[in-house]
Amino acid sequence: MTRLAIFDCDGTLVDSQHNICTAVEEAFATNALAVPPRNAIRRIVGLSLVEAMRMLLPDSDGALHERIAKDYKDAFFRLRSTGAMAEEPLYDGITDLLSRLSAARWMLGVATGKSDRGLAHILSHHGIAGHFITLQTADRHPSKPHPAMIEAAMREAGATPGTTAMIGDTSFDMEMARAGGVRAIGVSWGYHATTDLVEAGAHHIVDDTGALATILEQL
């Protein structure tokens, strides 16, 4: 039996909110738009960029959403290339959790609104890339909560919905899990309130990686 645990990245594996918020703020300023408050920006973390901009600017047209998404990418790359990017730390216990699951023969994957390049940088920087056998990003899939990332991850791992769990910090992750027919596990340390996760269909909410490991071991 193949057991597959799929992790979101931002807000679940790493705390990247400062850099994401800064890049959004720069992209909006570049277009002479009022900068959204950071609590609004945190609400869109996890979505693909164009979809995120659509949520922040629901009354604007698609061309503007596309332009701001590009400006976001440019701002993010500039932050990284100039050394101005803040540290994006792993959350407490993530390294030990991944090692524990790998030792227990879990297949591990990532499903994220990041690009391939952005995800590869994060995983390599923290030395955890080797734990994951399937990586699904916004470069190749529709935005969450569409289940395409989960479906592709299951195909690559040889897993079924009954042996797969999606772990994330946003309502988009929980909705995607439900749409893909897999177990939805919400983490409380990320960017959406636990009430949002429950309303979006989370089967479980966990407050730390120890509790997450315990739930996974029971599946």
pLDDT tens-digit profile of 20-56? Answer: 999 999 999 999 999 999 999 999 999 999 999 999 9
Percent of the chain residues past pLDDT 70, beyond the cut = 100
Q: Is the pLDDT of residue 148 over 80?
A: yes
Catalytic residue among 10, 71, 169, 173: 10
| Per-residue pLDDT tens over the stretch 67-95 | 999 999 999 989 888 887 778 999 999 99
Are 115 and 138 contacting, i.e. CB atoms less than 8 angstroms apart?
yes
Active site (annotated) includes residue 173 = no
Active-site annotation holds for 116: no
Quick check: 174 pLDDT over 90? yes
- Kindly tell me if the per-residue pLDDT of 157 is higher than 90: yes
Q: Kindly report the CA angle at 78 between 74 and 83, in degrees rounded to 5?
A: 160
Q: Do you find a cis peptide bond into 161, omega within 30 degrees of 0?
A: no
pTM of the model: 0.93
